[in-house]
């Protein structure tokens, strides 16, 4: 039986060097041992991303609500927020409890791609 064994988001970025440094130095990703001109392959924990340089494409920051590309379910949301904040992440909201039972915060990339991090609120 066939199985999906992994996944990566594929994102167009205008400056591959700037975006790769942001993912590695700020978001804590590591570069994968894949070498392809015009691409960066990066992973953090169970999440992978492929950044493809598209210098002349419309930036994600101009896409409005359609620039969200991922939702990360995490353990230790407040710790992750503090880590990313200390590294200079482009945070757009602080951790907050939401009525749908998740604690969330949001960040963006230099190109304007947005992602939300969330953790299930443990009820006592």
**Which of 110, 115, 108 is CA-nearest to residue 69?**
115
Cα 70 to Cα 8: distance, rounded to the nearest angstrom? 10
**Which of 113, 58, 53, 61 is CA-nearest to residue 89?**
113
pTM for this prediction: 0.89
Which CATH number is 8-55+67-120 given? 3.10.180.10
- By CB neighbour count within 10 A (0-12 exposed, 13-18 middle, 19+ buried), where does 88 fall? exposed
Give the domain ranges of the chain. Answer: 8-55+67-120
First vs last Cα of the chain: how many Å apart?
Answer: 40
- Tens-of-pLDDT digits for all 124 residues of the chain? 878 778 899 999 999 999 999 999 999 999 999 989 999 999 999 999 999 999 998 888 888 777 788 999 999 999 999 999 999 999 999 999 999 999 999 999 999 999 999 999 987 6
């Amino acid at each position: 039986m066939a199985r999906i064994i992994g996944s990566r988001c594929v994102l167009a970025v205008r400056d591959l060097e700037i975006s790769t440094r942001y993912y590695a130095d700020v978001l804590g990703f590591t570069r994968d041992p894949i070498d392809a001109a015009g691409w960066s392959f990066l992973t953090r924990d169970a999440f992978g991303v492929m950044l493809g340089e598209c210098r002349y494409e419309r930036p994600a920051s101009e896409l409005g609500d359609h620039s969200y590309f991922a939702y990360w379910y995490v353990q230790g949301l407040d710790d992750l927020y503090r880590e990313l904040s200390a590294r200079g992440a482009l945070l757009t909201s602080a951790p907050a409890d939401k009525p749908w039972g998740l604690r969330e915060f949001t960040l963006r990339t230099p190109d304007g791609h947005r992602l939300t991090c969330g953790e299930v609120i443990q009820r006592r």
